[in-house]
Amino acid sequence: MAEELPGTDVAADTAAGDAFPVAGQPLLRIEGVAKTFGTFRAVDGVSLDIKAGEFFALLGPSGCGKTTLLRMLAGFEAPDEGRILLGGKDIAQALPHERPINMMFQNYALFPHLSVRDNIAFGLKRAGMARADIATRVAEMVALVKLEGLEKRKPDQLSGGQRQRVALARALARRPQLLLLDEPLAALDKKLRESTQGELMELQRRLGMTFVIVTHDQEEAMTMASRIGVMKAGKLAQVAGPRELYEAPRSRWIAEFVGDVNLFDAESRLRDGHRLVIGTRDAGTLVVAEPREPVGAGKLSVAIRPEKVKLSRRGPVSEAGRETAINRLDGVIADICYLGGTTTYKVKLDTGGIVQASVANSARLDVDAYSVNQNVVAWFTPDDCMVLPS
């Protein structure tokens, strides 16, 4: 190791916050990073700041470059262009063992010939920590991930959830400035995944550490992360908090990728005060609130999340609906999908399109439920509509 980067001092005291650089400064700054494999541009000019103590998620479909970006942070790939600054120091070309960053691998990559204890102690021994300190730290880590009593087991004698914990403990043991998690929960079943999500968040808060997680699961990203970077074809499409990402996606593609959405292509548009009146082929004329950022001249789509679409037998009671510009679409129920907590209705509109409405099943008895072929009115307010460039 040529020189110690800040925070590589794994023997430092327990208070995790101490190791972090000046507050306010981003801990990690990614500047115009690009990586090409052959002719395929896996990561194409990504710039991003991550603050200390953040839980950041890189979200995207497979092949979008999120894993390549993570591997560049870990040091397994060197970027072709750009800089990666950690605490102000360029680490883009540093080797993995020279970085105060640890990674939790997707398949955990536990050493099969070593016990749980030796797996966790592996990085500490390499750092030249004293024997007694290693024992203390390992015990601390084992307690942290609740693996007491399993220290002597080999990885193949553990369940999937236990292996995941060992991998986490091993990655945390060196007290990295930055912990990278590559699809950490992909191998777990749904129930275990949900409880582990909660534990990861709680752990991150308690240790005050910076986590960067890669996932293709938008629900997982929304649940855990304080900020999400959505990647598409090697570029960051949007960086935002979960709520903003869901309620104000920047493009049609993001709206479709994050959650379900009804989409209608705009054929004409008219300005009416603070509203836009948009003509669509499938859903007739829709009145939508003007977005904060003015829309360009390009093609537009109107998007409405299914849970924002209300259903009723007669439409909004007030006939002033027209006046307050509530969008009402007449149609018949075409399909019903009961999901337990909610029911999704597909409404075939008289204008030809289909709109999905997600209704909470707030009463146990189905007195309010609709049936197939029933005439209904689907309605929503202008504020519930998003206007997106296609």
**Contact flag: residue 79 with other proteins (CB under 8 A):** no
**Contact flag: residue 107 with other proteins (CB under 8 A):** yes
Taking CB under 8 A as the binding criterion, the range among 46-54, 74-82, 133-141, 218-226 that sits at the site for other proteins is: 74-82
Q: Which 330-389 positions form the footprint of other proteins (CB under 8 A)?
A: none
**Contact flag: residue 105 with other proteins (CB under 8 A):** yes
List Cβ<8 Å contacts ≥24 apart for 7-13. 7/87, 7/100, 7/175, 7/176, 7/177, 8/100, 8/127, 10/123, 10/124, 10/127, 10/129, 10/137, 10/173, 10/174, 10/175, 11/127, 11/129, 11/130, 11/133, 12/175
**Contact flag: residue 42 with other proteins (CB under 8 A):** no
Tell me how far apart the alpha carbons of residues 376 and 314 are, in angstroms, rounded to a whole number: 7
Strand 262-272 to 300-304 pairing: antiparallel
**Contact flag: residue 40 with other proteins (CB under 8 A):** no
**Contact flag: residue 113 with other proteins (CB under 8 A):** yes
Q: Please tell me the count of residues contacting other proteins according to CB under 8 A.
A: 24
Q: Min. distance of Cβ 285 from other proteins in angstroms?
A: 55
**Contact flag: residue 322 with other proteins (CB under 8 A):** no
Tell me how far apart the alpha carbons of residues 309 and 378 are, in angstroms, rounded to a whole number: 6
Q: Min. distance of Cβ 183 from other proteins in angstroms?
A: 12
Cβ neighbours around 307 below 10 Å, total: 16
**Contact flag: residue 253 with other proteins (CB under 8 A):** no
| Residue 117-136 contact track with other proteins, rule CB under 8 A, x = bound | -----xx--xx---------
Distances (CA, A) of 162 to 118, 327, 380: 15, 52, 47
Cross-strand pairs, 40: 37
Among 20, 26, 79, 102, binds other proteins (CB under 8 A): 102
**Contact flag: residue 103 with other proteins (CB under 8 A):** yes
**Contact flag: residue 159 with other proteins (CB under 8 A):** no
Among 174, 227, 250, 310, binds other proteins (CB under 8 A): 174
The answer to whether the CB of 46 falls within 8 A of the CB of 33 is yes
- Residue 184's nearest CA partner among 165, 157, 198, 203 is 165
Q: Min. distance of Cβ 96 from other proteins in angstroms?
A: 4
Q: What residue ranges bind other proteins (CB under 8 A)?
A: 74-76, 95-97, 101-103, 105-107, 109-113, 122-123, 126-127, 170-171, 174
